Amino acid sequence: MPSHTTNRKRRVTQADVARRAGVSTAVVSAILNPNSATGVRVSPETAERVREVVRELGYTPNPIAQSLARGKRNILGVFTYEPVFPSERGNFFYPMLRGIEMQVSGAGYDLLLFTSVQTEGQPRKIFAGGSNRLGVADGAILLGQEPDPSEMERLADEGFPFVTVGRRHSSRVELNWAAAGYADATAEIVLLGHEKGHRRIAFVGSATIREQQLDREEGFRSAMQGLGLDEGPEWCWHLDPDKLDAAWLQSLLANGVTLVLAETLEHAERIEKLLGSRGMSVPDDLSMAVLGTPLEDTRRITRWTRFEVPREEMGREAVRLLLAQLDGRVTGAAQTTLPCSFIPGETLRRVAPAH
Amino acid sequence: MPSHTTNRKRRVTQADVARRAGVSTAVVSAILNPNSATGVRVSPETAERVREVVRELGYTPNPIAQSLARGKRNILGVFTYEPVFPSERGNFFYPMLRGIEMQVSGAGYDLLLFTSVQTEGQPRKIFAGGSNRLGVADGAILLGQEPDPSEMERLADEGFPFVTVGRRHSSRVELNWAAAGYADATAEIVLLGHEKGHRRIAFVGSATIREQQLDREEGFRSAMQGLGLDEGPEWCWHLDPDKLDAAWLQSLLANGVTLVLAETLEHAERIEKLLGSRGMSVPDDLSMAVLGTPLEDTRRITRWTRFEVPREEMGREAVRLLLAQLDGRVTGAAQTTLPCSFIPGETLRRVAPAH
DNA sequence: CCCGCATGATAAAGCGCTTAATCAGCGGGG
DNA sequence: CCCCGCTGATTAAGCGCTTTATCATGCGGG
């Protein structure tokens, strides 16, 4: 017998109600879940009597027990590999969470935020103490810049339904995701640059490679190839902003580059500063575009030619995919790529084609 | 027998492991929860064998079943009467949620956000369909500007542990809360105004009265009385910003008021605008202070004399109180008032005492 | 030689609910 | 008159785990 270290006064149980009303628990259950097509029928009088007792005793069903019995929880998990609210990262998750909450509420699910961390300072883990923590939920949405691929594979092996926000890839299992179309958006900017006369276009991304960046780079490469533009490896850089220096810029310009696609605003601003110390400016001496939109400092970004990532819509779509999976409405892998919206800005200008 | 409309492949259960390892489920359970002082002993060899099977089968315990058996869930509910993330209100909850998440993680609890809404457009309810939705959680934190007092009382009657962020009051039951010391902070500003020579001080708050505002007003009144200042009802207004007009300002100034305490920045700015159209300005012709700090437009607020509400700390404290309650470390009502921090600003200046 | 007592394990109850299977009445048609 | 089928209920199994009570076994001491 469980000890039940409950300090709360014992809650009223279904059996209490049944006893009091002089019926069986099956009847009580049937009355409380009218829509569930169970074989149990109840007369209106009995129903009223039971309802009366329910009110009198202030009975409220134990959701845990319901879940166990039904095999269904009506809870969607949200697992973030980084803290949700603390400031820096907070802004990042915020729009996605907004999308998730909007889509989930109305579907009759609640959101379980897995916030607990095992060891202070350690990265969060889904499998802690051998147990899948997400298991309380019917399914989960995974967010975060630095997910653990092995955990996701194990999750998939278990058959636990989940969807990631952002594209993820595994060679072993099929992953479900709602992601932004970085590749297309990047390609679009390359095409636009080409239209505006640019022929030598460079790409600058962070040193730490993430799925997102791969997408952007792949969009860049394929667009360049499609246009028959001569793009060598020397036009595609993986450097953090602080690694960009005068010498680097020099070689870039010497190569005749007229348009630079910067992965982040930090890259772009760094390059602009370097240009400035040579007496040059954007876009007069060099056109630029930013491959995304930061969340903080919304004012600083406005002049830049860029695209907007549909973060909120990614959250919504992730929920849609997950619910479809839970309803059994879907069989294979569900993957959605959502378009980014181009924002003209003022940093990409027309030039005379070089050749 | 339950139908278990599960489309997922049946998960591995404790019984499977036990069978495979040739032991009873009790042994498996004992191995998986080593610290729980149960009467079951296991030999190291058996333990190793079971652990092996666990790995082999990829077994992970069903948290729902654990919860039911243990009577403990390790989940803290967060109930907001308004949507958490959608923009307007979002900013409001944000710091509190940050505090909550910080405090909760590390305590080994997860956060359940009650986001689901029964009828689109309707206010959220704790008791929906006769059932206490919060029941999945061990306890809950209630947030929101417009809570439903009757729901809180019912919750308390049930013995469900919960804490509100923000002071709440009920004549029937004892409520637990972590709140900001609006009264003290307001009184502090009155005292400061008095020190700076102000004798006629007015208070302007919103038309819709909330607990917060009562606090501020009460702080205002008691400070005025303590100072022996002649404060009549005509110096305490309950008007929304758009109801403040030239005639109102006229009467205020005619009364010789030299300092106005505005509940919100909107009130303050409205008054300043009215002053402007008379060719007057803040603080030259009228001193002002704002009784709080808005979250949006942080730039607009900076010049104002005001106080800062410890929102994040309120979240943290709420969690502390709740956990104390869950641990049975506390008996009666737990109520914490957290001090607001005064911010000088530039809108409260010294004047020559009027009389 | 038997008792007491660790040791290592099992059996089974119970957490609070859902639901399939079953059953007692009862009125009506063949 | 009997059987069928309906209504309004009950019984009991089972969800997957925890935990208490119980049991078998072997060993040393009196």
Q: Report yes or no on A139 lying in a domain.
A: yes
Asked if residue A117 and residue A35 are part of one domain, the reply reads no
pLDDT higher than threshold 70 for residue B197: yes
Query: Which residues of chain A between 55 and 114 are close to nucleic strand D, CB under 7 A?
Result: 65, 68-69, 71
Residue B289's beta-bridge partner residues? B261
Q: Could you say which DSSP state residue B256 is in? A: T
Q: Report yes or no on A120 lying in a domain.
A: yes
Question: Domain ends where: A52, A69, A86?
Answer: A69
D21 C1' to B38 CA distance, Å: 12
Q: Which helix (H) or strand (E) holds B19?
A: helix B14-21
Chain B CB contacts of A97 below 8 Å = 84-85
Residues 315-334 of A with CB under 8 A from B: 326, 328
Neighbour-count burial of B61, counting CB atoms closer than 10 A to its CB (0-12 exposed, 13-18 middle, 19+ buried): buried
Residue A310 phi, psi dihedral angles, 5° rounding: -80, 65
Asked if residue B205 and residue B296 are part of one domain, the reply reads yes
* Interface test with chain B among A101, A165, A330, by most B beta carbons within 10 Å: A101
Q: Which helix (H) or strand (E) holds B132?
A: strand B131-132
pLDDT tens per residue, range A55-107: 888 888 888 898 899 887 788 999 988 776 555 544 678 788 888 988 887 78
Of all nucleotides, the one whose C1′ comes closest to residue A71's CA is D15
Is pTM beyond 0.95? Reply is no
Asked if residue B327 and residue B274 are part of one domain, the reply reads no
Distance CA A258, CA A347 (A): 12
pLDDT higher than threshold 80 for residue B211: yes
pLDDT tens per residue, range B165-193: 999 989 999 999 999 999 999 999 999 99
Question: Domain ends where: B69, B88, B107?
Answer: B69
CB contact under 8 A, A102 and B109: no
Contact with chain A for residue B94, Cβ under 8 A: yes
Q: Tell me the CA end-to-end span of chain B in Å, nearest whole number.
A: 85
Contact with chain B for residue A255, Cβ under 8 A: no
pLDDT higher than threshold 80 for residue A297: no
Contact with chain A for residue B207, Cβ under 8 A: no
Asked if residue A93 and residue A240 are part of one domain, the reply reads no
D9 C1' to A28 CA distance, Å: 12
Of all nucleotides, the one whose C1′ comes closest to residue B27's CA is C9
SS (H, E, C) chain A: CCCCCCCCCCCCCHHHHHHHHCCCHHHHHHHHCCCCCCCCCCCHHHHHHHHHHHHHHCCCCCHHHHHHHHCCCCEEEEEECCCCCCHHHHHHHHHHHHHHHHHHCCCCCEEEEECCCCCCCCCCCCEECCEEHHHHCCEEEEECCCCCHHHHHHHHHHCCCEEEECCCCCCCCCCCEEEECHHHHHHHHHHHHHHCCCCCEEEEECCCCCHHHHHHHHHHHHHHHHCCCCCCHHHEEECCHHHCCHHHHHHHHHCCCCEEEECCHHHHHHHHHHHHCCCCCCCCCCEEEECCCCCCCHHHHCCCCEEECCHHHHHHHHHHHHHHHHCCCCCCCCEEEECCEEECCCCCCCCCCCC
Q: Report yes or no on B2 lying in a domain.
A: no
Number of residue pairs across A and B with CB atoms under 8 Å? 184
Chain B CB contacts of A140 below 8 Å = none
Distance CA A311, CA A181 (A): 11
**B77, B65, B57, B56: which is closest to B33 by C-alpha?**
B65
* pLDDT value at residue B317: 96
C20 C1' to A229 CA distance, Å: 70
Whether the CB of B8 is less than 7 Å away from nucleic strand D comes out as: no
Distance CA A6, CA A238 (A): 57
Chain B CB contacts of A113 below 8 Å = 101, 110-113
Share above pLDDT 70 across residues of chain B, in percent, rounded to a whole number? 89
CA atoms within 13 A on the CB side of B170: 19
Position A274: which residue type? L
Q: Report yes or no on B346 lying in a domain.
A: no
Q: Report yes or no on A113 lying in a domain.
A: yes
Residue A287's beta-bridge partner residues? A259
Asked if residue B324 and residue B297 are part of one domain, the reply reads no
Q: Could you say which DSSP state residue B337 is in? A: E
Q: For residue B304, what are the domain limits?
A: 183-308
Chain A CB contacts of B130 below 8 Å = 32, 54, 59-60
By Cβ distance, the residue of A11, A105, A326 closest to B115 is: A105
Distance CA A103, CA A30 (A): 30
* pLDDT value at residue A232: 60
Q: Are A155 and A164 in contact (CB under 8 A)?
A: no
Asked if residue A175 and residue A188 are part of one domain, the reply reads no
Token output for B164: 């509100």
Q: Which residue has the higher pLDDT, A330 or A200?
A: A200
Q: Report yes or no on B350 lying in a domain.
A: no
C24 C1' to A63 CA distance, Å: 33
Please give the tally of structural domains in chain A: 3
Asked if residue A128 and residue A219 are part of one domain, the reply reads no
C9 C1' to A129 CA distance, Å: 24
Looking up residue B144, the CATH number of its domain turns out to be 3.40.50.2300
Whether the CB of B13 is less than 7 Å away from nucleic strand D comes out as: yes
Which residues, including other chains, have CB under 8 Å from residue A253's CB and lie 6 or more apart? A286
Asked if residue A317 and residue A175 are part of one domain, the reply reads yes
CA angle (B24, B29, B34) in 5-degree steps:
130
Token output for B296: 């949006």
Q: Report yes or no on B9 lying in a domain.
A: no
pLDDT tens per residue, range A247-290: 999 999 988 899 999 999 999 999 999 999 999 998 999 999 99
Question: Domain ends where: B69, B97, B116?
Answer: B69
Chain A CB contacts of B158 below 8 Å = 11, 58, 60
